[in-house]
Amino acid sequence: MTLRALIFDVDGTLAETEEAHRAAFNNTFAKWGLDWHWSQSDYRTLLKVTGGKERIKAFQSSLAGARLTDEQIAQMHKEKTARYGEILASGLLELRPGVAALIDTARRAGVKLAVATTTNTPNVEALCQCCWNAPATDVFDHIAAGDMVAQKKPAPDVYLLALQQLNLPADHCIAFEDSLNGLRSAHDAKLRVLMTASAYTDDEDHSAAQWQAPSLMAQHLPMELSEALRC
């Protein structure tokens, strides 16, 4: 296996972030005086829609009554992003098992590291500050985020952007994902995918992936990947 880069999704893949996102949404709804409250069950369904603003719109479309404008939704989402950053700044979020070691191993092996995520750049920054105590650009060589592309996952745009940033062909890279939308996005960019289901995606069918693993711990990695990362 020729391996020159690892490309990571963020939410659910690097860390189980969705409960922090859900809390940030609910806090922001309350601040806006709305009686909206997303339960875990609600949020599992809403996660089928990629993107925070898009998720708010999808939820609102199921309700009767007045509608928030696109401008209001954008402002609400901006405030939600700030609240998410505050939650992560508390330092309670941890990386999923194996993530830190895999990234360290790849770095020592001279393998490039990138992010391809539907979330926005400030959220990537907040996670890296929380979990690595470092700027995102100190952890990853390139960041391709949802606020940089025209279409979010399951469209391949964000992975295509990551490949462009890396200046590498897809067959020299592996994508790491936790969701079906992410799997479809990576596959449409011609990437091989290692799936590690998260708490909110463990009911999805990931059988189309090249590999599936319960975590990114060394003992769960496919042999081809482990061999490719040996210094």
List the catalytic residues: 9, 11
Strand order in the sheet with 211-212: 142-144, 112-116, 5-8, 173-177, 192-195, 211-212
The separation between the first and the last C-alpha atoms of the chain, rounded to the nearest angstrom, is: 14
Query: Encoding tokens for residue 195?
Result: 């799936």
Strand partners, 144: 116
Residue 127: how many CA atoms within 13 Å on its side-chain side?
27
The DSSP call for residue 134 is: S
Element (H, E) at 125: helix 121-132
Return the beta strands (E) in 61-140 as ranges: 112-116
Question: Do 224 and 42 contact (CB within 8 A), yes or no?
Answer: no
